[in-house]
Chains A and B, each alone.
Chain A
Amino acid sequence: MNQVINQGGQEVIGVGRVEGPILVVEGGIDVGYDEVVEIHDSQGQLRRGRILEVGEGMAVVEVFAGTTGLSVDGTRVRFLGGPLHIPVAEEMLGRIFDGLGNPLDGGPQPLTDRYADINGQPINPTARVYPRDFIQTGISAIDGLNTLLRGQKLPLFSGAGMPHDQLAAQIVRQATLGRPAGEASGDSEQFAIVFAAMGVKHDVADFFRHSFTESGALTRVAMFLNLADDPPVERLVTPRAALTLAEYLAFERGMHVLVVLTDMTNYCEALRQISNIRGEVPSRKGYPGYLYSDLASIYERTGRIKTSDGSITQVPILTMPNDDITHPVPDLTGYITEGQIVLGRDLNHNGIYPPITVLPSLSRLMKDGIGAGRTRADHSHLSAQLYAAYAHVMDVRSLASVIGEEELGEVDQQYLKFGRAFEQEFVNQTYTENRTIERTLDIGWKLLSMLPKEELTRVTLEEIEKYYGAGQRDGHASD
C-alpha cells in the first residue's frame, strides 16, 4: 500500500530498545537525521517512522503507528535514505487520505510522479506578497471586526462543547473573495479546501464530510484524517502532509487554498508525548522548549508569493484546555498567527451563535484589507468604535452588577441596551445566514445610533453625518 520513495536502502534486523512510540536502533548503520524508515514486525506487517536523533552506530526512531507488537529481535528496520515525501496532485481534491497521505476512500494512489518533502521549506520574506484581499465569510463578527484576508492565518480558539466545527464549516461554505460594499459580487471564485483532522472524533470528521457534501464542496476538498483512535505519532505528520498538498496547489497550480486544521491541541499533545519519552527538558506544562518553533513550522506555511497567483489561508482550530487562553498551546499559537477568533462560553450559554467573544479576538492584517475600494471607507473607524463601545459596556455591566442597573446614569443605561443589541443583532446570526459586508457595516451603524453622538469619538464627524441613524431612516435593518 505504500509507495517506496527511494528504492533500496539499508536494512537492520533487531533493535536495541523499544519505549512507547520510540525505537532505538543500534549497529553499524549509516543514516541521516530526519530520514524515513520502514519497519516490519515479526508478522511482516509494515509501519513507518522517522529518525529523531542519530549518533555513531545508533539512531532514535519515532514509529508513526506505535510500537505495539514490535520485538527487540524480530523487528526489521529499513532506512529509506531521505525525509518523508507524499505525492501531490490536483486530483487529490475530492479524496480522503489518512494522516500520512495514503488513500482511505478505497480509491487508488493518486497518479503523479510529483512527490514533495512534507517538511517544506521556509518562504523567503522578500518573496512574499503582503495579504490585502479581504475574504467575505458572511459572518459579521469576523467580516466587520476581525476581517480575514487571503494569505492570513487566523485560528479559532475554542473550548470543548462549543460550536467551533459549525463555525469552521460555515466559513468554508461561505468564504468568497470580498468585493467593496455596494459592488455586486461578480464571479463566485471559490477556494480549494485542504482539511486536516488530528485526533478528532469520528463524529467530527463525519460532520465535516456531510457539511462539505451538502454544500457541494466535496469535489474541491482534500481530507487528511488522523482520528482520535489513530496512532498519535502520525499526528505529527498529518498537518505537514496537508500543507504540502496545499503548497503545491497554491504555489504551483495557482489556486486559492483554505486550510482547516483541527484540533491543534491534540497535535501538541502528541508532540509532548514524544518529547517526554525522549527525556527532553520540558518548559511549560511539560511541553518541549521547541513547541514555538515547531508550531511556527506549520503556521508559517501560509501566505502569498510573488511568483504565483495562488494563496494559502489557514484557519486552525484549537480547544483551550479548561478555557484557559494562557495555556501554552493557545498562547504560542497567538504569538505566531495573525490574530485569533475567540469563542466564549457565556455567549454560547446565552444562545448566541457564533459565540465569538469580540474583545479578545483580533485580526492583525485587517487594517490593510479594509477601507475605501476594499470594503467601505468607514470600516476601520466603525470597527474601532464598536470595540470601544462594547469594551465600555463590559465596565458598565460590572458596575451594574454592584450598584444595580437603576442607579446607572442615563448614558450608561444606553450602553447596556447597546451591549445587548450588539450581541443579539450583530454577533448573533444563523448557521446558514450569509451577510454581505455592506449589511454587516449597516448593522454596526444602526447599533451605534443607539448611543448619543457625543460618545462616538472614534468615528469622524463626517461619518456620523452620513451614517448615524441611517438604519432607522431608510429601513436598512431589514433585508
Chain B
Amino acid sequence: MTQQVGTVTWINGPVIRARGSRNVSMLELVEVGEEHLVGEVIGLNGDVITAQVYEETSGMRPGAPVFGTGLPLSVELGPGLLRSIFDGVQRPLPVIEMRLGSFIERGMRLTPLYRKTPWDFTPRVSVGDEVSGGIILGTVPETDALEHRVMVPPDVSGTLTWVAPAGKYTLEDIIAKVRTRSGAERELTMLQRWPVRRLRPYKTRLGQNIPLITGQRVLDTFFPVAKGGAAAIPGGFGSGKTVTQHQIAKWADTEVIVYIGCGERGNEMTEVLQEFPHLVDPRSGRPLMERTVLIANTSNMPVAAREASIYTGITIAEYYRDMGYHVALMADSTSRWAEALREVSGRLEEMPAEEGYPAYLANRLAEFYERAGYVETLNGSKGSVSVVGAVSPPGGDFSEPVTQHTKRFIRCFWALDKALASARHFPSINWLDSYSEYLEDVADWWREEVGKDWYHQRNQAMEILSEESRLSQIVKLVGPDALPDEERLILETARLLREGFLQQSAMDEIDQYSTVQKQIRMLELILHFHQRALRIVKHGAAISVIHNLPSVGTLIRMKTLVPNDQLEKLDDIQKEIDQQMDQLDSEYR
C-alpha cells in the first residue's frame, strides 16, 4: 500500500520538505525515512511536499525516502477503545511500554486496537434487512459499564446478505456482508477507520436543554453547561484547571469520557491512570476507567502529535455519540495545542498574526468546538458530545488570543481566579467573571426532573454575591462598621454561599460529589437562613447576633456532614435554623 513518493530535502524540527510526486494529497498520511516515522502532509507546492512528523526527527538526513499511504490521518474505531490510553496519534502506550520499557522510542508501528481479543457479539439485524450508515448491526459488552453498538460505517448502505450468528469474534472477523446499490459486496468487521479531521455525519442537530451534571456545585447550580455544549476553563498556572477537569471526568453523568492530556504533565496522566481504576462511577457502580478513553501526549512528547491529539480524541467521542450515548470530552489544555500550531506555523515561516499565532488559529478553534453537539444520529438515536476545553493563558491574562478566540465559540465560561486559589478556595471559579448562556435552556429540566424552581433561587443567590462584591468595595474604603446591618447581612450570607456552597473539596469523601437534589436543598437552606435573618435584622437585632448563631457553623459544614443519600439531615438543619430564628423572633418583635 505504501510507495515512495519523494525524498527529503530539508529538515527543521518536526517539519520536513521533500521533493517528488505531484499526486500526494493534502493531509495525507506519509511515512518518512527508513524508520517510517509517521507524518502528515500540510503543504503542497508543485513537486515540493511539506509534512509535519509526529516523531522526533533527530538524525534524519536529506535524501531519506518519503512514503505515501494514500489515506488521511485516521483513527481506528471499535470495541476496546474504552480503558485504553493512547498517544496523540492513537498508539497504545501500554503496548509501547511492554515492548520498549519505560521510555518512548520512535519508529514504533502499532495497531491502536488489539486484534486478538474475542468480543461477544450479538446481532440485532438479519439477512435481507436494508441498512445504511450508522445502523446498529449488533452489540458487544465492551465493559461492564457500557454496551458497544457496532454500526455500519457511515459511507456504506445496501442489503444485508449475511450476518454472523451470536458468538465470539475478533476485530478482524467478518460479522456481516452488505450488497451495495452498485451490486458490490462489502464485508464488515467490528473495526472502522475514520479520518480525524473530518466530522462524523449525523442526521440533525438538536436543541441543548439537558444540563451536564458534574456534581460540582458551582458548575451545576451556578454555571451549567448543557449536554452537547461547549465550555472553556481558562486560568493561570496553579489556579486549578486540571483538578476541575479531573473532577468533571470523574463525576460527569455521561456514558463515556474522553480525556485528552494535551501537552501537559506526565505525572498528571499517571495520576489519572492510577486513580480511575479504583474510583467507582456513582451511577453504574463500576470503576470509572470502564467508561474512559485516555489520550496522553505529554509536554515532552513530539509536538506535532500534540496537535493531532485533539482531533483523535474528538473523533473517538463522535463515534460513541453515534451509538446514542452522551460523551464528555476534556481537553487539557487547548493552549498547548494552539502552541503546537504556532510552532509548526513558525517553522513553515508563515506570516504570524497575534503573538506569533497563525492567522487561522480562530478557524481551527471554531472547527474543534463546533464538533460538540446534541444530535439525532444516523440511526435515529440521540447522543451528544460535550466539550470542556482548558485554556492556559500566559500570565493568567485573558486578553491573549487563545482565550479571546475560544470565547467566541463556547457558551459557557468558567473563569479561574488566582486570588481564590491562593486562599485555597476551590474550585477557584470566579462567580463574577464566569457566565453560562445555557441558564434558560436548562431551567425546564430542573423543574421537571428535580421539581424545584432552580432558576429563581440561583439568580437570587447570584444577586447576593454580586451585591457583596459592590459592598466589599465600600468596606475596603471605610470598614464594615459603616454599613447598615441589612447590608452587613448580605456580607454574612455571601460568606455562607462562598464557604458553605461554592467551596467544594475534591479530596473529601462526602463533599467531592453533590447530587442535584443536595445542591438545591443546600442553596434553599442558605437562602432560607437569609430570609429569616433579614426579618430579625429589620426588627433591630445587631448583625453580631446573627453571626454568632450556631447554625452558621452548621451551614458552612453541611456539605461535608450530609451524605448524598441522607438528605433528610438537611431537613434537620432547617429545623435547627428555624428554632434559633424563632427564638430571636420572639426577642426582637
A positions within 8 Å CB-CB of B: 30-35, 52-57, 82-83, 119-131, 151-152, 251, 280-284, 288-290, 292-293, 296-297, 300-301, 303, 305-308, 325-328, 331-332, 334-336, 338-340, 359-360, 362, 364-365, 367-368, 380, 384, 387-388, 391-392, 398-399, 402-403, 407-409, 454, 457-458
Contacts and interface: CB of A to CB of B under 8 A. Distances in A.
A121 B423 contact: no
Given A34-B57, A56-B62, A125-B85, A402 B93 contact: no
Nearest to A54: B11
A293 B302 CA distance: 9
A414 to B, nearest CB: 15
A121 B104 contact: yes
Contacts of B499: 457
B267 A131 contact: yes
Interface string B455-494: 0000000000000000000011111110000000000000
16 contacts: A30-B63, A32-B58, A33-B61, A34-B58, A35-B59, A53-B10, A54-B61, A55-B9, A55-B10, A56-B62, A292-B336, A300-B299, A334-B237, A335-B237, A391-B424, A457-B553
A418 to B, nearest CB: 15
Nearest to A326: B395
A458 B498 CA distance: 13
B394 A33 contact: no
Contacts of B270: 125-126, 128-130
Contact of A391 (B11, B60, B422, B479): B422
Interface in B245-298: 261, 263, 265-267, 269-271, 273-274, 296, 298
Given A281-B352, A457-B499, A402 B476 contact: yes
A403 B274 contact: no
Interface in B203-247: 236-238, 242
A332 B335 CA distance: 12
Given A289-B339, A391-B424, 17 more contacts: A32-B60, A33-B59, A55-B9, A55-B62, A128-B266, A280-B346, A289-B346, A289-B356, A292-B336, A328-B394, A334-B236, A336-B299, A359-B423, A387-B424, A398-B476, A402-B478, A407-B479
The listed residue with most A CB atoms (<10 A of its CB), out of B97, B237, B478, is: B237
Of B85, B242, B299, the most chain A CB neighbours within 10 A belong to B299
Contacts of A289: 339, 342-343, 346, 356
B523 interface: no
Contacts of A52: 12
B507 A380 contact: yes
A31 B296 contact: no
A153 B357 CA distance: 29
B301 A122 contact: yes
Interface in B1-26: 9-13, 17
B350 to A, nearest CB: 8
Given A121-B105, A409-B481, A31 B61 contact: yes
A282 B343 CA distance: 10
Contacts of A306: 102
B532 interface: no
Interface in B292-320: 296, 298-301, 303
A406 B395 CA distance: 37
Nearest to A325: B395
B422 A360 contact: yes
Contacts of A35: 58-59
- 9 closest residue pairs by CB, A with B: A326-B395, A296-B299, A391-B423, A334-B237, A300-B300, A283-B356, A34-B58, A127-B102, A125-B269
Interface string B382-397: 0000000000101111
Given A54-B62, A83-B59, A128 B342 contact: no
B544 to A, nearest CB: 9
Contact of A303 (B267, B476, B507): B267
Q: Tell me which of A283, A307, A326, A327 has the highest count of chain B C-beta atoms within 10 A of its own C-beta.
A: A283
Contacts of A301: 300
A364 to B, nearest CB: 8
Contact of A126 (B94, B394, B481): B94
Contacts of B507: 367, 380
Contacts of B349: 281
A409 B543 CA distance: 13
Contact of A130 (B105, B267, B343, B418): B267
A336 B97 contact: no
B556 A53 contact: no
Contact of A281 (B93, B296, B356): B356
B339 A292 contact: yes
Contacts of B396: 326
Contacts of B366: none
Contacts of A120: 103
B46 interface: no
B362 interface: no
A364 B242 CA distance: 10
B451 interface: no
Interface string B95-112: 011001111110000000
Contact of A403 (B269, B392, B479, B553): B479
B397 A326 contact: yes
Interface string B16-40: 0100000000000000000000000
Contacts of A151: 267
B587 interface: no
